[in-house]
Amino acid sequence: MAKAWVLHDIGKISYEDVIIPIPKENEVRIRIMAAGICGSDIPRIYETGAHKMPLIPGHEFSGVVDEVGPGVDTGLIGKRVAVFPKIACGKCDMCLSGFPLRCRNYDYIGSRRDGAFAEYVTAPIGNLLEIPDNVSFEEAAMLEPFAVAANAVRTGTKGLDPDKPVAVCGLGTIGLMVTMLLKNAGFSKIYAIGNKTGQKNRTLELGVSEDFYCDSTKTDPLKWISDKTGGVCSYYECVGKNETISLGIETLNPGGRLILVGNPYSDMTFSRDVWWKILRNQITLSGIWNSSFSQNHPDNDWNYALEKISVENIHPSRLISHKLELDGLEMGLLIMRDKKEDYCKIIMKNF
């Protein structure tokens, strides 16, 4: 038997003994070394439930392969890996057209099948990314959100001069990762919009000048950006609210790009004036969900993110605010749910 956090129903998650999973054909079993709590885990556990329950949540993780299923090379045993959590079906029109990220019939570790808030998890061999020795398990567990940020930045900056102004609204983990990658790509005019002291401190620690930070609880960000630069060319919406999306449309220059990264808090509506601005300014709206991954095509978001960590020494681990043992994971869930203390990335470590 092994230990895991099992979600039985909405709001009912418990730490208990579970059967150690056995890898199936073309799968491996991974001993979890680190796992991150994603913002999406909180509503999944406390508000909406998972696609099926009981279920072990957790989709941001790394570990060591300790067993292989039938037909899998035993040479994988002992490998240090991160895991892409989305499991494409390989059969739908999107998969067959070379777009597994848009798969219509996917499975997903931590929301549709058992995940990483546990000692062990199984995953298909096609979803493994071997990590070099100079990348810690904690940073490897952060590859999933870091790759999402990479997807957003690569989408929003393609063909864009780094001298152009850009804005990041929402400075949680993803927004700060977007900021890190924008700075790495040479962008110096990054207008950062947040609403918490901790967000400001972390943004400044990343090298953003205080002149480029707006506390939206004290300053109107629309007027602030207008006074500072007149408008931006790309706007990264990392909140998921009507007002911050509308703010992006208002602050974008003609031909600008609105990169939608934040999960929606509610239904989205646009006023007539905002809709006219989208049309007349020919603004491009790009939705970002997840990231690209392929073992056969190296130019994907996961390899891009891994190279930034392992070769270019960008360290998303500097965003870790809490490290917990597996049996103390619920404390991290409640910190994020109740927001009673400052936090950024909360990591469960198993080593």
d(CA 312, CA 123): 28
Name the strand (E) or helix (H) holding 175.
Answer: helix 173-184
32: confidence class by pLDDT, cuts 50, 70, 90: very high
342: confidence class by pLDDT, cuts 50, 70, 90: very high
Name the 3-class secondary structure at 285: strand
Question: In this model, does residue 294 exceed pLDDT 90?
Answer: no
* pTM of structure: 0.96
| C-alpha dihedral, 308 to 311 to 313 to 315, nearest 10° | 50
Name the 3-class secondary structure at 332: helix
d(CA 209, CA 228): 13
The phi and psi torsions of 174 (rounded to 5 degrees) equal -65, -45
Name the 3-class secondary structure at 349: strand
Q: Which residue ranges make up each domain of the chain? A: 2-130+315-349, 146-287
- pLDDT for res 298: 83
279: confidence class by pLDDT, cuts 50, 70, 90: very high
Name the 3-class secondary structure at 345: strand
Looking at the domain 146-287, which fold is it?
Rossmann fold (3.40.50)
- The tens digit of pLDDT for each residue in 100-126 reads 888 989 999 999 999 999 999 999 999
- Residue among 294, 297, 288, 287 nearest 90 (CA): 294
Question: In this model, does residue 164 exceed pLDDT 90?
Answer: yes
Question: In this model, does residue 295 exceed pLDDT 90?
Answer: no
Looking at the domain 2-130+315-349, which fold is it?
Quinone Oxidoreductase; Chain A, domain 1 (3.90.180)
Question: In this model, does residue 328 exceed pLDDT 90?
Answer: yes
Question: In this model, does residue 296 exceed pLDDT 80?
Answer: no
- pLDDT for res 252: 98
d(CA 50, CA 33): 24
